[in-house]
Amino acid sequence: MSSESIGTAPDAFESDLRTEEMLLNMGPQHPATHGVLRVLVRTDGEMVLDCDPHVGYLHRCFEKHCESVTFLQSVLYTDRLDYLTAMGNNWGYCMAVEKLYGDDLEIPERAQYIRVIYQELNRIASHLLAVGTYGMDVGAITPFLYCFREREKILYIFETISGQRLNYNYVRPGGVAYDLTDDMVRMIKDFCTYFKPKVQEYNDLLSANDIFIKRTAHVGILPLETALQYGCTGPVLRGCGVARDLRKDQPYGVYDRFEFDVPVGTGESGTLGDCLDRYMVRVREMEQSIRIVEQAIEALPGGEYKSPKIKAKVRPPKGEAYTRIENSRGEVGFYIVSDGKDVAYRCKCRAPSFHNIHVLPEISRGQMMADLIAIIGSMDIVLGEVDR
């Protein structure tokens, strides 16, 4: 290179030293993607310049199925959305079907309390898996074993009431499939007593671990405005410091009868809206769910566990209805159009993980590749409801 060219291009040597950008496929079978997710990552060395989540590998035509089988049979398919919180999906769909009946249909109080009890137990089971696997994402194995120890006890309770450990088909239009026996009540009370001190164990093992804090604090910071623009809900939104929870803001069922707090991110050990805040929201939500379960068990009324007005063939009148509930990953919504038959004319599901995962590029740019795993884990997505 001549002296003249050096003089006219002072940045020539700097451009020669730049590293070459690379496109990497992470997934769709990568163990740290929490499902069949493919993330196309553009990197500069170990730095993430941009990423693009590719979904659809687990698409199962959920909405079309609900327009092809009866309302009662459709409950089975809601189990397969967020399969880690199937009780909530059952409940949200059944609420939409019940809304089509209007004021003529009254859900028995006992059924309402049972729904709350099992929904909150399912929320705890879901968060236990989220907390345990998140520890594994950043290199901690022991918390996973502790969390699954408690989760097994909840799954045993679910297996006792419904016969299933994962997809329950338990909440039905008009109530629930089976009543809560005295033995089951005692089993749930024993679990509450057993579980309450366990949360402190998770905090000692993981939440207060210096390595874990360094891997998650100041990483994947999600600004509140960005979260709102993308429609984020659940712990992802509450991790930004907003106490948005449908159980408080728009109470459904009998949630207005219980006392509980809505945990939010505080940026206590990092920056508000980072991975650590989203993790801590889930840990603290487990404590609040136990509070709700204990109150519901103590106030459990007698009576019927399902409405006698709902027959074996569910056939709501013509109309349309939209309902939403606060599931463990955010707001799940169901929009149903009925033409008076026993099969829905139209069904649409609003899945929280679908919105939450699409904020990934916004909070990953400029992070390290290892941090991308921590960011995806902090979103706690389930691809069953992302793809539907």
SS3 letters across 167-191: CCCCEECCEECCCCCHHHHHHHHHH
User: Which pLDDT score is estimated for 251?
Assistant: 93
User: Which pLDDT score is estimated for 269?
Assistant: 86
User: Which pLDDT score is estimated for 15?
Assistant: 52
* Domain assignment present for 158: yes
Q: Tell me how many degrees the CA angle 330-188-234 measures, rounded to the nearest 5.
A: 10
User: Which pLDDT score is estimated for 116?
Assistant: 96
d(CA 369, CA 382): 21
- Please state the φ and ψ torsions of residue 103, each to the nearest 5 degrees: -70, -10
How many whole angstroms from its chain centre is CA 68? 27
End-to-end Cα, the chain, rounded Å = 59
* Strands 171-172 vs 175-176: parallel, antiparallel or unpaired: antiparallel
* Domain assignment present for 190: yes
Whole-angstrom Cα Rg for the chain: 23
Sheet holding 346-350, edge to edge: 319-327, 330-338, 346-350
Output the furthest CA–CA distance in the chain (Å, rounded).
Answer: 94
* Domain assignment present for 136: yes
* Domain assignment present for 36: no
d(CA 118, CA 293): 8
User: Which pLDDT score is estimated for 17?
Assistant: 54
Range of the domain at 70: 65-367+376-387
The secondary structure of residue 366, as a DSSP letter, is T
Strand extents, DSSP E, the chain: 21-26, 38-44, 47-54, 171-172, 175-176, 319-327, 330-338, 346-350
CATH classification of the domain holding 248: 1.10.645.10
Q: Which two tokens stand for residue 33?
A: 């993607």
User: Which pLDDT score is estimated for 26?
Assistant: 85
* Domain assignment present for 261: yes
Q: What is the mean pLDDT of each run of 10 residues along the chain (388 residues)?
A: 45 58 84 82 90 89 92 91 91 93 88 95 94 89 91 94 90 92 94 93 90 92 93 93 93 93 90 92 94 95 89 87 94 94 93 92 91 91 89
User: Which pLDDT score is estimated for 1?
Assistant: 42
Residue owning tokens 């995962």: 357
User: Which pLDDT score is estimated for 388?
Assistant: 85
* Domain assignment present for 235: yes
User: Which pLDDT score is estimated for 2?
Assistant: 43
User: Which pLDDT score is estimated for 103?
Assistant: 80
The number of CA neighbours under 13 Å toward the Cβ of 234 is 27
- How many domains does the structure of the chain reveal? 1
Give yes or no for a contact between 262 and 212, defined as CB atoms under 8 angstroms apart: no
Q: Which two tokens stand for residue 51?
A: 């990423």
Give yes or no for a contact between 137 and 377, defined as CB atoms under 8 angstroms apart: yes
* Domain assignment present for 32: no
* Domain assignment present for 132: yes
Give yes or no for a contact between 130 and 268, defined as CB atoms under 8 angstroms apart: no
User: Which pLDDT score is estimated for 247?
Assistant: 94
